[in-house]
């Protein structure tokens, strides 16, 4: 496959464009999608770029189809991906469930918009619960929450590798601001950074003659007996737990001596980062903790940050009505530190929002 980026280069582009470039650089071969704002331009850029690099695209009849065609292409051995948002993310939970059950390395970019229902097409962090735990039954998946265009580029590339290495569906969770905003980043071909891209392989349509050189493949995702399913679910859960230390990611700043730790994810963490600096400059010992993988959640690392700092409070800041808060509380079960929150569903959060909130609760 030809190089996509060539010499690493600075670009000033939207997040959606960064997704398309990163997928190309990651050697994605085919995208399936259905229009929804704020994800559309992922498809727009992909359809413009893909033919030049001999990659494919299909606009399907809906998100169910986009998800299931992606599953099919992956079973056929291709690095395939999709992107969606909001109500489309709801519909795609069905094919995402198939990917969880059959361990299909599907990559989906979710550009969160406001909800419930059609909500807004602009921005939110309200798709955290859906994206991390959306399937029926108890599926396992990996969710990266990005906070900059550089990270979108980096984590789309990394996401394909995580998916194909561990065979769990991977989600890159962005939002409408990241999708539509322009921002500088550096694009590169992964090989030039020593990142080896995991090669895809097929589950059906294999080489060889059936009954002579190989057995037929019979893939399935429904079982006759409770015990059969039980084994499957435990095996998947076991593999996931074993993988967790290798994929869990987080970012932590100024937690050593913090009296309060601000927990946030995605773009809101940029406001949190600034807020912590402002608070520090005013003599308030604030710390910053950001889960990059919302699932698996950096539970151990957050507990350690709490322990070493001896912080007396946590503040959770999110553009949603308590989704990160619920996730964090569940992960911190047993800790006694009071947890406060700044919940601003579907609207942006700036540094002063966090600074004022911290001051009001200190």
Partner 1 sequence: MVAPAMPKSWYVPSKPHKFCPGCGHGITLKALGEAIDELDIQNKVVFGCDIGCSLLAWNFFACDSTQTHHGRTTPVMVGIKRARPELICVGYMGDGGGYSIGSQHLLNSAVRNEKITVILINNTNYGMTGGQMAPTTLPGQITETTPYGRDVEVTGYPTKGPEFIAEITPENAYVARATVSKYKQLKRFIKNALRNQEQGNGFSFVEVLSTCPTNWRTSAEQTWHFLEDKMEKYFPIGELKNPLGKGEK
List residues near partner 1 by CB under 8 A.
29-30, 32, 56, 58, 60-62, 64-65, 68-78, 80, 94-95, 97-98, 202-206, 208-211, 216-222
CB-nearer residue toward partner 1: 68 or 153? 68
- DSSP-derived letter for residue 198 is P
Strand duo 293-295 + 286-291: pairing: unpaired
Minimum CB distance to partner 1, residue 96 (Å): 11
Contact predicate 80/105, CB 8 Å: no
Minimum CB distance to partner 1, residue 356 (Å): 48
CB-nearer residue toward partner 1: 163 or 173? 163
d(CA 219, CA 280): 56
Minimum CB distance to partner 1, residue 240 (Å): 22
Minimum CB distance to partner 1, residue 235 (Å): 19
Minimum CB distance to partner 1, residue 218 (Å): 4
Minimum CB distance to partner 1, residue 46 (Å): 14
What is the spatial order of strands in the sheet that 339-343 belongs to? 250-253, 286-291, 260-263, 313-318, 339-343
How far apart, in Å, do the first and last CA atoms of the chain sit? 56
Minimum CB distance to partner 1, residue 206 (Å): 6
CB-nearer residue toward partner 1: 30 or 43? 30
Helix (H, G, I), strand (E, B), or coil: what is residue 87?
helix
Minimum CB distance to partner 1, residue 84 (Å): 15
Contact predicate 257/263, CB 8 Å: no
Q: Using alpha carbons only, what angle is made at residue 173 by residues 103 and 347, rounded to the nearest 5 degrees?
A: 150
**Cα dihedral sign, 228-234-240-242:** negative
CB-nearer residue toward partner 1: 222 or 225? 222
CB-nearer residue toward partner 1: 195 or 206? 206
d(CA 325, CA 329): 6
CB-nearer residue toward partner 1: 103 or 253? 103
Minimum CB distance to partner 1, residue 98 (Å): 6
CB-nearer residue toward partner 1: 64 or 343? 64
CB-nearer residue toward partner 1: 192 or 228? 228
Q: Greatest CA separation found in the chain?
A: 75
What is the spatial order of strands in the sheet that 293-295 belongs to? 56-59, 30-33, 80-84, 107-112, 170-175, 142-145, 293-295
Contact predicate 18/180, CB 8 Å: no
Q: Using alpha carbons only, what angle is made at residue 295 by residues 289 and 296, rounded to the nearest 5 degrees?
A: 85
Minimum CB distance to partner 1, residue 209 (Å): 6
CB-nearer residue toward partner 1: 34 or 288? 34
Q: Which of 187, 182, 179, 184 lies closest to 83, judged by CA?
A: 179
CB-nearer residue toward partner 1: 23 or 314? 23
Contacts of 281 (CB under 8 A, 6+ apart): none
């Amino acid at each position: 496959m030809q190089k996509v980026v060539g010499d690493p280069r600075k670009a000033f582009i939207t997040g959606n464009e960064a997704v398309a470039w990163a997928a190309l650089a990651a050697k994605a071969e085919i995208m399936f999608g259905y229009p929804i704002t704020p994800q559309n331009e992922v498809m727009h850029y992909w359809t413009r770029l893909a033919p030049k690099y001999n990659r494919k695209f299909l606009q399907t009849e809906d998100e169910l189809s986009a998800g299931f065609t992606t599953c099919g292409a992956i079973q056929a051995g291709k690095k395939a991906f999709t992107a969606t948002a909001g109500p489309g993310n709801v519909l795609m939970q069905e094919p995402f469930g198939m990917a969880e059950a059959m361990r299909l390395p599907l990559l989906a970019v979710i550009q969160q918009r406001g909800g419930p229902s059609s909500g807004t097409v602009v921005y939110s962090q309200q798709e955290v619960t859906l994206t991390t735990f959306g399937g029926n039954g108890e599926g396992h998946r990996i969710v990266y929450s990005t906070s900059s265009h550089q990270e979108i580029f980096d984590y789309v590339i990394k996401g394909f590798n995580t998916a194909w290495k561990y065979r769990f569906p991977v989600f890159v969770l962005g939002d409408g601001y990241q999708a539509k905003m322009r921002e500088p980043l550096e694009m590169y071909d992964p090989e030039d950074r020593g990142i080896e891209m995991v090669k895809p392989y097929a589950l059906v349509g294999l080489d060889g003659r059936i009954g002579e050189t190989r057995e037929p493949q019979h893939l399935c995702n429904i079982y006759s007996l409770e015990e059969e399913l039980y084994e499957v679910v435990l095996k998947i859960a076991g593999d996931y737990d074993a993988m967790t230390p290798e994929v869990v990611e987080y970012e932590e700043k100024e937690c050593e001596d913090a009296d309060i730790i601000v927990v946030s994810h995605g773009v809101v963490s940029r406001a949190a980062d600034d807020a912590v600096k402002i608070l520090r400059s005013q003599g308030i010992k604030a710390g910053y903790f950001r889960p990059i993988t919302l699932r698996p959640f950096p539970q151990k690392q957050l507990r350690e940050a709490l322990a070493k700092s001896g912080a007396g409070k946590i503040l959770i800041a999110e553009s949603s009505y308590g989704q990160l808060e619920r996730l964090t509380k569940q992960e911190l079960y047993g800790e006694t530190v009071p947890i406060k929150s700044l919940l601003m569903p579907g609207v942006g959060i700036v540094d002063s929002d966090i600074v004022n909130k911290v001051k009001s609760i200190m």
